[in-house]
Structure 1
Amino acid sequence: MHGLRIETDRLILRPTAAEDFDAWAECMADPEVNRFLGGPQPRAVAWRNFMTMAGCWSIQGFGMFSVIERATGRWVGRLGPWQPEGWPGHEIGWGLKRETWGKGYATEGAAASMDWAFDHLGWSQVIHSINPENLASIGVAKKLGSALQGPGTLPAPFEDDVVDLWGQTREQWLARRRR
């Protein structure tokens, strides 16, 4: 996947790279960013999760993209395809640094990720597992055209997390994109 690069109007999406780690660790330590993502992580735990994402690219051929702000070259988050063992479906997820919230980056990047997942991974549907109190992420899911599918269950160690599954099929996505 070396060389994979997706550009949107304001973002560059690419696989995880070693130079992303300091910004990743800073983002994962932020309690507000991680309020619905399992809580803040100390640097050592963030490193393990960072390596997990890099390993996804190596083993599965996909993982969440590092999100780079085109105007500044800064790493501002991670988003994109994700499907750990036992997950309830092919997910497009997002987690961005707090200072980027409200700029539409999650919607812009997730849309590009969905295009890529449907076109290159051959996915027939996507989900977004979202805590029902996470109104900002629910707003992103709605902007993407996803609909509430009902409550979901995540595998251990997240089996006690409360999530709703939002999603849509490839056909629904393509019909929306043609409008």
Structure 2
Amino acid sequence: MNPGNTPVLETGRLILRVSQACDFERFAEVLGSEEAARYIGGAQSRSAAWRRFLQMPGAWVVQGFGMFSVIEKSSGRWLGQAGPWKPDGWPGNEIGWTFHPDSWGRGYASEAAAAAMDWAFANLGWDDVIHCIDPANAASQALAQRLGSRNLGAVKLPAPYEDAPSDAWGQTRAEWSENRKRFA
């Protein structure tokens, strides 16, 4: 199923598509885990996770973009989310990511984020991207660096995240054009 004719991206190991109801169980596991959710607002109840899950398909309908669900081709398993995200008041054009703990450390996030950056630059007219990362989140900082992004300094996120520390990591379209060659 491809709701609303939204894009489906493929990489060597992954399919990136709009979220579907069948993705929710693993999404709820991520948001229910204090460790996995510590840098994205903290652990949440299943009902709160459901409301948050609905944000991405809604973003696709309203804005024409949102984070993709990242699916492992070989198993069909939901691994996480990656892609463009820019709610009202956000400090820039974000390419963000969140992955299930059982997929950490396998290169899925960099593969998905690279594909999402390609798509965003090709389809959204963006001239730059950022990744809003908690200064304590070393794993996401390392991923941003692998993508070629650099720390641009502290940013203030809108409510309800206004008290969460965040640095913007980012790069321009021209920089991505050069950095992308590492992922070819």
Partner of 2:98: 95
Paired residue type of 2:20: A
Partner of 1:161: 164
Partner of 1:126: 129
**1:45-56 correspondence to structure 2 within 5 Å:** 45-56=48-59
Partner of 2:180: 177
Q: 2:109 aligns with which of 97, 106, 109?
A: 106
Paired residue type of 2:32: A
What is the rounded CA distance, in whole Å, between the counterparts of 1:163 and 1:26 in structure 2? Answer: 24
CA separation of 1:119/1:133 partners in 2, compared to 1, >3 Å: closer, same or farther?
Answer: same
TM-score of the superposition, structure 1-length normalised? 0.96
Structure 1 residue 102: Cα displacement = 0.4
Paired residue type of 2:89: G
| 3-state SS of paired residue (2:80) | strand
Partner of 1:152: 155
Q: CA RMSD in A?
A: 1.1
Paired residue type of 1:170: R
CA contact (8 A) 2:68 2:82 kept: yes
CA contact (8 A) 1:2 1:15 kept: no
Which stretches in structure 2 are left out of the alignment for 5+ residues? none
CA contact (8 A) 2:66 2:85 kept: yes
TM-score of the superposition, structure 2-length normalised? 0.94
- Confirm whether residue 13 of structure 1 aligns to residue 34 of structure 2: no
| 3-state SS of paired residue (1:148) | strand
Structure 1 residue 176: Cα displacement = 2.1
What is the rounded CA distance, in whole Å, between the counterparts of 2:5 and 2:77 in structure 1? Answer: 19
What is the rounded CA distance, in whole Å, between the counterparts of 1:3 and 1:45 in structure 2? Answer: 25
Paired residue type of 2:80: G
Q: 2:139 aligns with which of 133, 136, 141?
A: 136
| 3-state SS of paired residue (1:33) | helix
What is the rounded CA distance, in whole Å, between the counterparts of 1:28 and 1:70 in structure 2? Answer: 23
Q: 1:42 aligns with which of 41, 45, 58?
A: 45
| 3-state SS of paired residue (2:142) | helix
Which whole-Å deviations, capped at 9, do the CAs of 1:116-173 have from their partners, x for residues lacking one?
0000111110000001110000000000000110011001111111011100000110
Paired residue type of 2:105: G
Sequence identity of aligned pairs in percent? 54
CA contact (8 A) 2:79 2:99 kept: yes
Structure 1 residue 30: Cα displacement = 1.3
| 3-state SS of paired residue (2:176) | helix
